Amino acid sequence: MKCLLFSLPHFHFPFYIFLALIHLPPSLSDNKQWYRNCSVLFNCGSITGVDYPFWGSDRPQNCGYPGLNLRCDENILMIEIMNIEYRVLAIDQETKNLKIVRNDFMEGICLKEFVNTTLNYSLFDYAPGYENITLLYGCQPSLLTIPGKFTCPINGRTYEDGYVELGNGLGELGIPFPVPCQFSVSVPISSSTLLQIGNLSSLNQVIEEGFEVELKVDSTACSKCKKLNGQCGYDLDLKQFACLCPNQTTSGSRTCTGTNSTADDERSSPQSPPSASASGPGDCKVSVIVPVLADIHTDWGPSVGSFNITDLGKVFREGLGVKWKVNGTSPASTPSPGIFRSDFNKSYNTR
Q: Given this model, what pLDDT does residue 29 score?
A: 62
Low-confidence residues of the chain: pLDDT under 50? 1-25, 170, 172-174, 251-253, 259-285, 297-307, 333-334, 336, 351
Distances (CA, A) of 304 to 13, 18, 45, 163, 329: 14, 10, 59, 74, 36
DSSP track, 266-328? -S--TT----GGGSSSTTEEEEEEEE--TTGGGGG-SSGGGS-HHHHHHHHHT-B--EEEETT
pTM of the model: 0.65
What's the pLDDT score for residue 135?
92
**Per-residue DSSP letter, 204:** H
What is the strand order of the sheet 70-73 is part of?
Answer: 70-73, 76-81, 84-91, 98-102, 211-215, 124-126
How much is the pLDDT for 100?
98
- Answer yes or no: are the C-beta atoms of 190 and 130 closer than 8 Å: yes
| Angstrom distance (rounded) from CA 122 to CA 128 | 17
**Cβ neighbours of residue 8 under 8 Å, at least 6 residues apart?**
291, 320, 322
Between CA 230 and CA 246 the distance in angstroms is: 6
